[in-house]
Amino acid sequence: MDLERVVSIAKRFRSCESMNEVRELVWELNKALAPKFELLELISPRPGSVKAVWAKPGEALQRDQTLIVLEPGATSDQLVVPKGCTVDRVLVTPGEDVKAGQLLATLKSPWDGQLAPDEPGAPKGTDEPPPRPPATTFESF
């Protein structure tokens, strides 16, 4: 977080003359307050036994690199990381039985500054503020 930038943005709120200006400042403020990393969770897709754990906390992993191998039965599932990250915590050990939906590990990844695509109002792959709504005019009665 850049404190000087946050203070500068906050001071500009007093001079806003329209909601569009307020929206733009809120957008800037959100970017200034954004975390520098995001925490990702690796969840077991089905019950099984942990066959292998291929990294320990603090290790850097690349996208699609296997972190945990599960044996749900006759086959094995390799659980890969969704993007470049660092292992934060590994909560299972080889030989341990896990349930479907169980948290297996947490990962830290540099935050790319984007909101999740399914969040309302999240821009799609841009750093620009959301489009302004059309101006509304009111007729006097």
Domains and their CATH numbers in the chain = 3-33 (no CATH), 37-110 (2.40.50.100)
Query: Between helices 3-12 and 19-33, what is the axis angle to 10°?
Result: 170
Q: Which helix (H) or strand (E) covers residue 80, if one does?
A: strand 77-80
Rounded CA gap, 28 and 129, in Å? 8
Q: Decide if 123 contacts 130 (C-beta within 8 A).
A: yes
Taking the CA atoms of residue 42, residue 47, residue 48 and residue 50 in that order, the dihedral angle to the nearest 10 degrees is: 20
**From CA 38, how far away is CA 83, in angstroms rounded?**
11
Give this prediction's pTM.
0.56
pLDDT in tens, 22-76: 888 888 887 777 667 778 889 999 999 999 999 999 999 998 899 999 997 777 8
Cα–Cα distances (Å) from 86 to 48, 62, 64, 140, in that order, read 25, 9, 13, 60
pLDDT of 91-135, one tens digit each? 999 999 999 999 999 998 876 655 444 444 444 555 555 555 554
Taking the C-alpha atoms of residue 132 and residue 138, their distance in angstroms, rounded to an integer, is 18
